[in-house]
Structure 1
Amino acid sequence: MNQLDTRLAKLARQGDRAAFAELVELYKEKIYHLAYRMLQNRHEAEEIVQETFLRVYTNLDRFDEEQKFSTWIYRIGTNLCIDRLRKRKVNYSLDAEMGEGEGNDWYSTLPSREETPDQQVLLSETRSQIRDSIETLPEKYKAVVILRYLQDLSLQEISEVLSMPVTTIKTRLHRGREFLRKKLEQVL
């Protein structure tokens, strides 16, 4: 994938619109899921996807081909989400983000392996509580936890995305897990 990404980025840099469209196809869902996990708002996540690809397009000349394209695009998307969260912080309300079906994300559309309705309800409530707990994570832990467990990035990739040492990522991941464990012990 890395070689394909780099080749497509080179072609897009030279003005090949089809190559850029292919990059969009490869990454739009991944960036959307990252943004939705961080922002908990479909509309804002869609805006982040558009803004990410706009930034990618306008900054293709800055892309270092020695670097993984996925790391570069995740860094752009993550930074845009963090900026959005900082702007939102001023008047943050737990109720404000829930609107027209916002509670329905791709987790809730997964088919259940549970056989009884009681087990399905319990599983759904547990997922909801985990999602809500992730939403309450302090900003510095939230991005690391989402990139690691929901986007399945390695510690090295997260380090590159967030421009932090791997040791800092490990520390924040550990503290984020501890925060979630304590939070979930209170509700489960």
Structure 2
Amino acid sequence: MDNHLARLTLKGDQRAFAELVSLYQDKLFHMSYRMLGNRQEAEDVVQDTFLRVYKNLHRFDISLKFSTWIYRIATNVCIDRLRRRRPTYSLDAESSDYEGLDGYSMMPSDETTPESELILTDTQRIIREAIQSLPPKYKTIMALRYMNELSLQEISEIVEMPVTTIKTRVHRGREMLRKKLEHRL
């Protein structure tokens, strides 16, 4: 269906492009937010991604999956933003306001108490911060794998790397997270 909408957009159908936007804007926002940890930047990435898609749609190979192509563009935009950032570490830095948490990030429980919710929210914050502190090459892979639930093959296509490299980075990223979280949780 995505490829059909892409073909219609190439023929000038603005409604088809609007449908592509509505299909992907939330998914791209969540992926970008998890990679960048900043709501405004994530919104900018989504907008920039759709601008690039619209301008370069003529380059899209219809024989490939549209979702892989658009995720690759969004991931590259995020990586570019991460590369431009200068590392800043401050104890006074504003922590996330817990927006962006969804059902996936919440552990199911039969009994929810205010205390268990506070512990869970704090744990999620610590894990998000640990992922944010990973080097970009690991952060990207970990976000795509565990937060967006993409397969190793899909990640390989998005970041244009062999699956074996993706497996290695997932393994090393998990090890880095384990070490970072060992003393915090």
Q: Matches of residues 82-121 of structure 1 in structure 2 within 5 Å?
A: 82-88=79-85, 90-94=86-90, 98=94, 102-107=96-101, 113=109, 114-121=111-118
Structure 2 partner of 1:150 = 147
Determine what percentage of the aligned residue pairs are the same residue. Answer: 55
Contact 1:41 / 1:97 at 8 angstroms: preserved in 2? Answer: no
Match of 1:37 among 30, 34, 38: 34
State the distance in 2 between where 1:95 and 1:87 align.
22
State the distance in 2 between where 1:84 and 1:15 align.
31
Structure 2 residue identity aligned to 1:107: L
Per-residue deviation, 1:58: 0.2
State the distance in 2 between where 1:155 and 1:171 align.
11
Structure 1: unaligned runs, 5 residues or longer? none
Moved more, 123-132 or 156-165: 123-132
- 1:108–1:153 distance in 2 versus 1, CA, 3 Å: closer
Contact 1:108 / 1:124 at 8 angstroms: preserved in 2? Answer: no
Aligned length: 182
Per-residue deviation, 1:50: 0.4
Structure 1 residue identity aligned to 2:52: R
Structure 1 partner of 2:3 = 6
Corresponding residue SS for 1:187 = coil
Structure 2 residue identity aligned to 1:61: H
Per-residue deviation, 1:98: 3.1
Per-residue deviation, 1:119: 1.3
Corresponding residue SS for 1:153 = coil
State the distance in 2 between where 1:53 and 1:123 align.
35
Q: What is the TM-score normalised by the length of structure 2?
A: 0.92
Per-residue deviation, 1:121: 1.3
Contact 1:48 / 1:80 at 8 angstroms: preserved in 2? Answer: yes
State the distance in 2 between where 1:97 and 1:17 align.
42
Structure 2 residue identity aligned to 1:40: G
Structure 2 residue identity aligned to 1:9: A
Per-residue deviation, 1:106: 2.3
Corresponding residue SS for 2:47 = helix
Per-residue deviation, 1:92: 2.9
State the distance in 1 between where 2:52 and 2:155 align.
20
Contact 1:40 / 1:97 at 8 angstroms: preserved in 2? Answer: no
CA deviation vs aligned residue, 1:118-164 (integer Å, no higher than 9, x gap) = 21111111111111111111111110000011111110000000000
Q: What is the TM-score normalised by the length of structure 1?
A: 0.90
